[in-house]
Amino acid sequence: MEKVLVAMQDPDMGMKMRNQRLLITVIPHAMTGHDIITWLIQKYHICEEEALHLGEMLVKYGYIYPLREPRCLVLRPDESPYRFQTPYFWTSTRWPASELDYAIYMAKKNIRKQGELMEYEKERYSLLHKRINHTWDFVVMQAREQLRASKQRRKADRIVLECQEQAYWLINRPTPTTTKIETSRRALGRNRVKSSVCLEGFVKYSEQYQSHDPIMQGCLPSNPWISDDIAYWTMNSEIVPVPTRLRVERWSFSFMELLSDAMGRREFMTYLEKEFSAENLHFWQACEEIRHGESSKIVEKVEDVYKNFLAPGAARWVNIDSKTMDKTLEGIKQPHRFVMDDAQMHIYFLMKKDSYPRYLKSDLYKNMLAKAVVPQETKKSVFPFMRRQRHSSPSPAQAGAPAAEEDGRAGTNSAAGSHF
Amino acid sequence: MATKSCAWTGARTRGESSVPHRSGFFLLLCRFYLLPILKPVLYSLLFSCLLKEWISQFLNVCCLLMQDGKVIVWDAFTTNKEHAVTMPCTWVMACAYAPSGCAVACGGLDNKCSVYPLSLDKNENLAAKKKSVAMHTNYLSACSFTNSDMQILTSSGDGTCALWDVESGQLLQSFHGHAADVLCLDLAPSETGNTFVSGGCDKKANVWDMRSGQCIQSFETHESDINSVRYYPSGDAFASGSDDATCRLYDLRADREVAIYSKESIIFGVSSVDFSLSGRLLFGGYNDYTINVWDVLKGTRVSILFGHENRVSTLRVSPDGTAFCTGSWDHTLRV
């Protein structure tokens, strides 16, 4: 880049610099944006777009700076004046932009015109103030000195120097790694739980589920993978007339367990109907559908939900607090996938804290538990190596058609040692 | 089966009688038992098996894909192939089963994730019905359906994860924050269902909020690429397996790593991890052809399973917890 600049500044072949007028003072050795572009096009035989781009890069990196709008680092191909940055300030000379210098610069600005600092500069200023508090006196002193010295220069020079400095700092301000600070700040703000408490949580969870874990404790009647007997799966399929005891027990572990089991949900629904609060569960289910369903149907689903559950005087009106209700109604005007989230959460926690514990204590649940079956462990067959016929379960893609019986032994008849 | 009996010896020492005493006996004979079943598999798998997933309700079906560009859905119980789809791209790296069981999503070096509807009509050309859903600028390393058939979460070698709408193929949310390729992801089994964790080559595991796209938490204690992440069943913690030969457990509420599962004798990286149903056991598939089973709470190794003749590339526990399946570069899948 610097080669370009040197070429530009070449007195013979370079840019024609004129004295430009900036308001009342005359700035020597300035050029217009337009001139920059035409020169680039001529010298390098490039098209206008490229020249503009190249010119912009030069400005961005601080080799050329605008005089009229010093903050806006854009190359304008018109009569706005620009000037070359002194080599002292070139980025390549890698003069480390120390915080101290930045502080001095900002202090100068502050003194010169109170309140002229921009937002981010104010922030930075106060940050630096906190950080290098011990040398703050030095900073202020330096600032004052520099100001006094500059007052003795001609106005034109002064403006030039100011612009130079401003441009430099605009580009090279020491960035105090804002993103890192943000994440650290966020991390500090997070509520943490003691790990001993968390580990206790794990122990409790594992203990609770241990009897339900087939690998840990074996499953009754038998693990189908070992015995080839799919009784375990048929007993635990989606809807059975009588569920197993373990399954019913699991419903008492957490509300989520109850809701994720189809039978559990059905039972809970019957209970809620008795309590005349079934609309809560219906509402929750409708919201789940909105959240996970097809995007194209969101609008009509939201409409439905509003009509059935939220509109005043609706058939299945759900009891939500007014703040959430207002927020939801606002959101419905522009329906999106998560518009029902707040209301759904409210109802979910309502059910969890209120209806769910009562359900667990209710007769309905207790009867279910008593009725529930504890399957017998199948007797181990005399010939352990006899392989039963394995049937494939109905593939979900079939949507209802009965599964074809497939003989699982097909591949093994030729094998040695598999049958006794 | 060879691997299964080893898994049960652990249970036996605890005094449970469910393991037949024939287990030791079984070991020898089972190797023969196993091979005949999988031999047909051996021939049809031209390349190594890379990834698989169980389907939830239909407990005995699992879907797998291979590096020769085919995605096959097996009935794991009867070892029959149910569906096979040929992908136009020969290198498939990620696959996922839709919760309803009616579709499969897969992707790989073609930078895309495509969704194929499954049908039992053997004459139908499934490849023709595919729908291209995700577009990344680098390979697709993992994909997963969220709670429904309608949304897919993908992670890619371009360092980002993204959430897509299947119907329209639109990008719903993208997650930036990894400094290198993202290799794996897992959805949280929480009540609100809004977060997921991803692990990448930058040794970091990040937890993201799906709605806002922000990275909520980040963990960086591994010493090498994280190959696999899995949530603990309660959703309060997750485990990760990495090329530095360790598995680590991170707790989300305490915001730190709480356990390291490693042994000096293990020097090969972990390719895949999964928890048993109760979360007490952590299974890890290693590149030294073995599977190590760790006790999550004690931090000790419970048992080691042999049986594969090449690296174990992937491992998954069935949703009902009755068994787990491993796939490997030796062209077999074992349950």
Between B132 and A363, the higher pLDDT residue: A363
- pLDDT tens by residue, A373-411: 777 766 655 455 555 555 555 555 544 333 333 333 333
Test A198 with B148 for CB contact under 8 angstroms: no
Chain B nearest-CA residue for A230: B77
Token pair in block for residue B141: 């390393």
Confidence check: pLDDT of B214 > 80: yes
CB of B270 closer than 8 Å to CB of B227:
yes
B22 falls within a domain: no
Confidence check: pLDDT of B29 > 50: no
Whole-number pLDDT of residue A391: 58
Best CA proximity match to B269, nearest among B291, B303, B233, B244: B244
- E strands, A238-369, in order: none
- pLDDT tens by residue, B37-56: 222 232 233 344 555 555 43
CB of B169 closer than 8 Å to CB of B183:
no
Angle subtended at Cα A26 by Cα A24 and Cα A29, rounded to the nearest 5 degrees: 155
Range 260-279 of A in CB contact (< 8 A) with B? none
B31 falls within a domain: no
Test B253 with A256 for CB contact under 8 angstroms: no
User: How far is B318 from B335, CA to CA, in rounded Å?
Assistant: 10
Between A19 and A158, the higher pLDDT residue: A158
User: How far is A74 from A70, CA to CA, in rounded Å?
Assistant: 10
| Contacts of A15 by beta carbon, 8 Å cutoff, 6+ apart | A8, A9, A31, A35, A36, A39
Largest CA-CA distance found in chain A, in angstroms, rounded: 110
B30 falls within a domain: no
Distance set, CA A361 to CA A269, A357, A368, B225 (Å) = 15, 6, 12, 49
- pLDDT tens by residue, B283-321: 998 888 888 899 888 888 888 888 788 888 888 887 777
Whole-number pLDDT of residue B134: 75
Q: Name the percent of chain A lying above pLDDT 90.
A: 0
Q: Name the least confident of A293-297, B117-121, B320-324.
A: B117-121
Centre a 10 Å sphere on the Cβ of residue A49 and count the other Cβ atoms it contains: 8
**Out of A205, A226, A255, closest to residue B4 by CB:** A226
Q: Touching check for A88 and chain B: CB below 8 Å?
A: no
B97 falls within a domain: yes
Test A218 with B19 for CB contact under 8 angstroms: yes
B229 falls within a domain: yes
Whole-number pLDDT of residue A42: 75
B271 falls within a domain: yes
Range 363-382 of A in CB contact (< 8 A) with B? 377, 380
* Domain extent at residue B291: 41-334
B25 falls within a domain: no
**Out of B80, B102, B256, closest to residue A195 by CB:** B256
- Per-residue pLDDT band at B127 (split at 50, 70, 90): low
- For residue A221, whether the previous peptide bond is cis, meaning omega lies within 30 degrees of 0, is yes
Centre a 10 Å sphere on the Cβ of residue B229 and count the other Cβ atoms it contains: 26
Mean pLDDT of B136-155: 85
Whole-number pLDDT of residue A418: 34
B180 falls within a domain: yes
Confidence check: pLDDT of A124 > 50: yes
Domains along chain A with CATH numbers = 1-90 (1.10.10.10), 95-175 (1.10.1240.60), 218-371 (1.10.167.10)
We report the CATH number of the domain holding residue B303 as: 2.130.10.10
Query: How far A172 CA lies from chain B's nearest CA (Å)?
Result: 25
- Per-residue pLDDT band at B168 (split at 50, 70, 90): confident
Q: Name the least confident of A182-196, A282-296, B2-16, B156-170.
A: B2-16
Centre a 10 Å sphere on the Cβ of residue B215 and count the other Cβ atoms it contains: 18
- pLDDT tens by residue, A349-359: 888 898 888 88
Highest mean pLDDT: which range of A39-43, A52-56, B81-85, B246-250: B246-250
User: How far is B108 from A2, CA to CA, in rounded Å?
Assistant: 45
Strand order in the sheet with B247-251: B226-231, B237-242, B247-251, B256-261
Between B237 and A30, the higher pLDDT residue: B237
Task: Please give the tally of structural domains in chain B.
Answer: 1
